[in-house]
Structure 1
Amino acid sequence: MVFLVVGDANADLSSTLARFPDEGDDVAMTALGYSSGGSGANVATALAKLGARARLVTAVGRDPGADVALQAAKQAGVDLSFVETHPTQATGHCIVAISPGGERTFLSFRGANTAVTCPDFAAVFEEVVHLHVAGHALLEGEQGTTTLALMEEARRRQIPISLDVCLPLVRTRAADLLALAPRFSVLFGNTSELGALARQDHEAATAALLAAGVPLVVGKLGANGAVVAEGSARTFLPAFPADVRDTTGAGDGFVAAFLYAWRRGATLEHAGRLGNAAGAHVVSRLGAAASLPGREELLQVLSTHGGELAALQALFTDEKPSIGRET
């Protein structure tokens, strides 16, 4: 089965800071790195590293940044047949400032990402069983139009759609997001994103999304783990212990692991625990796409910290796992 992912691919310039600066300040960096990033590319890369077949719809420029943006996805075996090269727009870049506590702050230039045109539906949807939308893909430009068209085609083909929201989306297009809510089978958001949507807290946003028609909302709560909301039920899943160095990409790793497990028939609790394991692995390392775990890394996290290793190990076999719901 193929996961179709639409979203940004960026070249990330990550800087670890001695302290986070005030405006006009002058602060030393303690580390500097250049690597693949962008939520779309990250999720597709993570899915491929877990053993899924992933296909990415995005765009890059004709510049050196394009190779950086796609390097991790290419190495993981993501299908890049539908990645466009824009003749004039530069590849998306993101400056990632990492505070001493590991929290990341983004300064983003979206570039060619916004110019994605609509691909050949017959080809791009071949063998696809799930469409995942990274939130930036709904923001603007041709990419926004393309993403809506892909969502409509997925609906016509009765293919489930997931969305991972982002702060710019919930801040500028909250009403549009709620109007689109019934189209999603599952929606992901972190504490800041969900809080910005409801202008209260993540629980208020979760309730609003469920009322708007999303059947399943998954809150990524960082050090507090995750919460899976379905109807009136709430399942809280504690985080795995981790030495936090860089939170960049942790949410993308969570989303990929959750979707991989869920689409293979795992229970929501098992999917959430695997997502938490992925997040713990990512935050303990520097960088985004390069830190995304494969099968062995996730199994190591589960083995080290206990919790359902035998059951979750079935997700990484070629057989359909017998640990969860029927699909």
Structure 2
Amino acid sequence: MSKKYDVCAIGNALVDYEIEVKDQFFAENEVEKGLMTLVDEERQSVLLKEVAGAVKKKQGGGSAANTIFGLAEFGGKGYYTCKVADDEDGTLYTSDLENAGIDTNLDPQNLNKGTTGKCLVMVTPDAERTMNTFLGITTDFSKNELNEEAIKNSKYLFMEGFLVSSPTGLEAMKEAKRIARENGVKVSMTFSDPSMVKYFNDQMKDIVGDGVDLLFCNIEEAELFAGVEGMDAAKEAISKVAKEFVITKGKDGALVYDGAAYHEIQPFPTKAVDATGAGDMFAGAFLYGINNGLSHAEAGKLASAASSAVVSKYGPRLNKNHIQSILDTLK
């Protein structure tokens, strides 16, 4: 039976504020560089005032959202499950999904009272991104937001690791995984960020549980999850909990395991400007590929080209020209 969606994703809905800063900004404002840090609304407001003139762009984001946008940009059909509020950012977020052709549980006429989550994505001249996130209303993302029919009608469920930081988010992940398992839908997820694996390791192990069909992570996340060092030990550990997996290695490409064989995916050289969403785009392009006739090695190559294109510009999105250029390169 054919499914309506390639992927049904669940994750935090955050409006990304893309900001250019210098390294000294972090020292002056006691911000930990290179990590995603959860902050309260007051702390985020203080930082936002400091960088008011440096905001380059605002758009709907979040780890799994970036992945589902990536899938859609290549022509895949996605569904995104999230929670926003009835404020300006919530309206922006809802229209971003609609304009990208992504179906969602959000009803623009009936959004929740509260504040939509925001992520300050601070990019330094070395292209590294540092995120300070106020989750807002998505703190309470729960199984109430899930659309059981959308999960059943998808080839893959995709879950972001950031959700494990919230008890209701973790509960929603477990429920979504249960629905997927009972309906023959493959379960995929991403660890999202080293900080999630470092500080919420028990919760991450809880949701991975008896295993997943497809796991996305980077080498640091794999090492932290398994408590090991080095690629050989990391891939051995991850193979015990994921039937298939992708371990990204930044500028060194990625390692893809298709359940039977390993494939070294070469990087596409580029001048990095902003690393925001590189891993998310890799997952989106990869999921598009394996759902639309590509082998895991071919999907890895597509994903490598896509993530390379993303880091060469500001923000986590690609336009039609970028997509066409990637497809032409791969031909």
Report the TM-score, using the length of structure 2 for normalisation.
0.82
1:147-296 to 2 correspondence within 5 Å? 147-166=173-192, 167-179=194-206, 180-199=208-227, 200-211=229-240, 213-230=241-258, 233-288=261-316, 291-294=317-320
SS at match of 2:104: coil
**More displaced, 254-263 or 21-30?**
21-30
1:13-162 to 2 correspondence within 5 Å? 13-24=17-28, 32-82=56-106, 85-88=111-114, 90-118=115-143, 119=145, 121-125=147-151, 127-162=153-188
SS at match of 2:257: strand
Deviations 1:29-54 (A, max 9, x none): 76632222111221222222221221
Distance, in Å, in 2 between the alignment partners of 1:50 and 1:113 is 27
Task: Check whether the contact 2:271–2:312 (CA below 8 A) recurs between aligned residues.
Answer: yes
Match of 1:323 in 2: none
Task: Check whether the contact 1:281–1:297 (CA below 8 A) recurs between aligned residues.
Answer: yes
- The residue identity in structure 1 corresponding to 2:113 is P
Distance, in Å, in 2 between the alignment partners of 1:120 and 1:72 is 20
Query: Given the superposition, is the C-alpha separation of residues 202 and 113 from structure 1 closer, same or farther in structure 2, using an over 3 Å criterion?
Result: farther
Query: Given the superposition, is the C-alpha separation of residues 207 and 230 from structure 1 closer, same or farther in structure 2, using an over 3 Å criterion?
Result: farther
- The residue identity in structure 2 corresponding to 1:74 is E
Structure with greater contact order relative to length (CA < 8 Å, sep ≥ 6): 2
Identity percentage over the alignment? 25
Query: Given the superposition, is the C-alpha separation of residues 209 and 181 from structure 1 closer, same or farther in structure 2, using an over 3 Å criterion?
Result: farther
Distance, in Å, in 1 between the alignment partners of 2:86 and 2:140 is 13
- The residue identity in structure 1 corresponding to 2:76 is A
Query: Given the superposition, is the C-alpha separation of residues 192 and 30 from structure 1 closer, same or farther in structure 2, using an over 3 Å criterion?
Result: farther
Query: Given the superposition, is the C-alpha separation of residues 198 and 66 from structure 1 closer, same or farther in structure 2, using an over 3 Å criterion?
Result: same
- The residue identity in structure 2 corresponding to 1:59 is K
Length, aligned pairs only = 301
Query: Given the superposition, is the C-alpha separation of residues 152 and 225 from structure 1 closer, same or farther in structure 2, using an over 3 Å criterion?
Result: same
Q: Shift of the alpha carbon at 1:245?
A: 0.9
Report the TM-score, using the length of structure 1 for normalisation.
0.83
Query: Given the superposition, is the C-alpha separation of residues 160 and 42 from structure 1 closer, same or farther in structure 2, using an over 3 Å criterion?
Result: same
Query: Given the superposition, is the C-alpha separation of residues 232 and 62 from structure 1 closer, same or farther in structure 2, using an over 3 Å criterion?
Result: same
Task: Check whether the contact 2:274–2:313 (CA below 8 A) recurs between aligned residues.
Answer: yes
Query: Given the superposition, is the C-alpha separation of residues 146 and 243 from structure 1 closer, same or farther in structure 2, using an over 3 Å criterion?
Result: same
Q: Shift of the alpha carbon at 1:176?
A: 4.0
Deviations 1:92-132 (A, max 9, x none): 11111111011111111112223223246553335222111
SS at match of 2:163: helix
Task: Check whether the contact 1:155–1:183 (CA below 8 A) recurs between aligned residues.
Answer: no
- The residue identity in structure 1 corresponding to 2:218 is N
- The residue identity in structure 2 corresponding to 1:127 is N
Distance, in Å, in 2 between the alignment partners of 1:215 and 1:86 is 38
Distance, in Å, in 1 between the alignment partners of 2:324 and 2:175 is 37
The match for 2:13 among 9, 12, 20 is 9
Q: Shift of the alpha carbon at 1:62?
A: 2.2
Q: Gapped runs of 5+ residues in structure 2?
A: 31-49
Distance, in Å, in 2 between the alignment partners of 1:120 and 1:49 is 24
Distance, in Å, in 2 between the alignment partners of 1:249 and 1:141 is 25
Distance, in Å, in 2 between the alignment partners of 1:250 and 1:80 is 23
Distance, in Å, in 2 between the alignment partners of 1:143 and 1:85 is 19
Match of 2:43 in 1: none
